[in-house]
């Protein structure tokens, strides 16, 4: 029996069950060049936070059993991983969740194809609800709309690479599209399965949109403050590319010009290869950039808590614990 009192207690047992269950959804037949990379990705999937949130919301709002919400949960997790396969090619990343990325383990062509295949398999999971036209007809456009917004967010992210002046507000708009949208839709699907009112569906979605922004701000921060063994990916890759992450843009906005130029020197590839990321993060730490970002994250959580109070009493505890879980994660 999976406890549903808090997300912290729900999450570990649910993800263990989910991983076993989703492995049964992946065809391992021929051609192996298509299905082996897909199976590899799903075996080495990450935090599974989106399916866990979907299931936890459905459970807390309508006592929906995990088996009932599983097809939708599997769909969002597969869509998330499809986007990561393609992102890793575009970003040139070699590690994902502590394992070689698909394009590194195989090649770019197989990675593109397996990503496309995984997206199709994801939507196929929703066939489980085809016998419920009212539900099915709402799920499909919601998910396809989310995928379009994720692609828009990725396009914005790539555009930022060639732009010198990117504002923090522009970055946050990009994060809302690329990261928050699928998280928010996961929660809304859970509310939908629970039979929630339209008002509560939208409120859940808006809470998780804001929480997704915090999720990415935290992830950007961990890129600088954590280590590879915890994060399971190559640290410093964003710095070498001078990628416009939240800490990067915040530092550019707040540091005096001489300190900013010192930071840029510390993020050059030769410097990071020789000295790692420690010089750059020491400069940011000593100038209170990390402290200020932590404060920004805290203020956004306060806003989220105000929104959660508008939900039915029985649902609030689960949403509070989801917010706490994301704020205090270390990887």
Domains and CATH numbers, the chain: 7-327 (1.10.600.10)
Q: In tens digits, what is the pLDDT along the chain, a chain of 331 residues?
A: 344 579 999 999 999 999 999 988 887 778 999 999 999 999 887 889 999 999 999 999 999 999 999 999 999 999 999 999 999 999 888 888 788 999 999 999 999 999 999 999 999 999 999 999 999 999 999 999 999 999 999 999 999 988 989 999 999 999 999 999 999 999 999 999 999 999 999 999 999 999 999 988 988 888 888 765 555 455 566 777 778 899 999 999 999 999 999 999 998 888 888 888 889 989 999 999 999 999 999 899 899 999 999 999 889 999 999 988 887 776 5
Question: Looking up tokens 């099915």, which residue turns up?
Answer: 136
Contacts of residue 41, defined as CB under 8 A and 6 or more positions apart, other chains included, come to 81, 84, 85, 102, 114, 118
What is the reported pLDDT for 227?
A: 65
| Nearest CA-CA partner of 237 in 76, 104, 110 | 104
Q: Given this model, what pLDDT does residue 3 score? A: 44
Q: How many angstroms separate the CA atoms of 265 and 181, rounded? A: 35
Task: Output the pTM of the full model.
Answer: 0.87
Residue 91 in contact with residue 77, Cβ under 8 Å? no
| φ, ψ (nearest 5 deg) of residue 100 | -60, 140
Omega prior to 151 cis, within 30 of 0: no
Rounded Cα–Cα distance for residues 16 and 39 (Å): 17
Amino acid 155: pLDDT: 95
What pLDDT sits at residue 2? 45
């Amino acid at each position: 029996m999976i406890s549903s009192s808090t997300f912290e207690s729900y999450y570990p047992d649910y993800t263990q069950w989910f991983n076993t269950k989703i492995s049964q959804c992946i065809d391992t037949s021929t051609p192996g060049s298509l299905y082996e990379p897909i199976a590899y990705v799903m075996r080495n999937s990450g935090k599974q936070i989106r399916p866990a949130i979907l299931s936890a919301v459905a459970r807390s709002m309508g006592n929906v059993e995990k088996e009932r919400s599983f097809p939708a949960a599997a769909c969002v997790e597969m869509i998330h991983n499809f986007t990561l396969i393609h992102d890793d090619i575009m970003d040139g990343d070699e590690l994902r969740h502590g394992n070689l990325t698909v394009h590194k383990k195989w090649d770019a062509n197989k990675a593109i194809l397996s990503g496309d295949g995984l997206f199709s398999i994801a939507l196929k999971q929703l066939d489980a609800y085809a016998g419920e036209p009212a539900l099915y007809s709402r799920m499909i456009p919601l998910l396809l709309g989310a995928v379009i917004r994720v692609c828009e967010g990725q396009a914005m992210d790539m555009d930022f690479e060639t732009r010198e002046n990117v504002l923090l507000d522009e970055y946050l708009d990009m994060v809302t599209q690329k990261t928050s949208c699928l998280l928010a839709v996961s929660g809304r699907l859970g509310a939908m399965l629970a039979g929630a009112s339209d008002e509560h569906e939208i409120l859940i979605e808006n809470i998780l949109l804001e929480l997704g922004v915090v999720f990415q701000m935290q992830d950007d921060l961990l890129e600088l403050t954590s280590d590879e063994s915890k994060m399971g990916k190559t640290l410093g890759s964003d710095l070498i590319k001078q990628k416009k992450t939240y800490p990067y843009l915040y530092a550019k906005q707040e540091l005096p010009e001489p300190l900013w130029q010192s930071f840029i020197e510390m993020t050059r590839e030769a410097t990071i290869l020789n000295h790692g990321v420690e010089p750059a993060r020491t400069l940011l730490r000593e100038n209170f950039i990390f402290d200020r970002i932590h404060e920004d994250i805290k203020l956004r959580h306060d806003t989220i808590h105000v929104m959660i109070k508008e939900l039915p009493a029985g649902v609030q505890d689960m949403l509070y614990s989801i917010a706490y879980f994301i704020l205090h994660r270390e990887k």
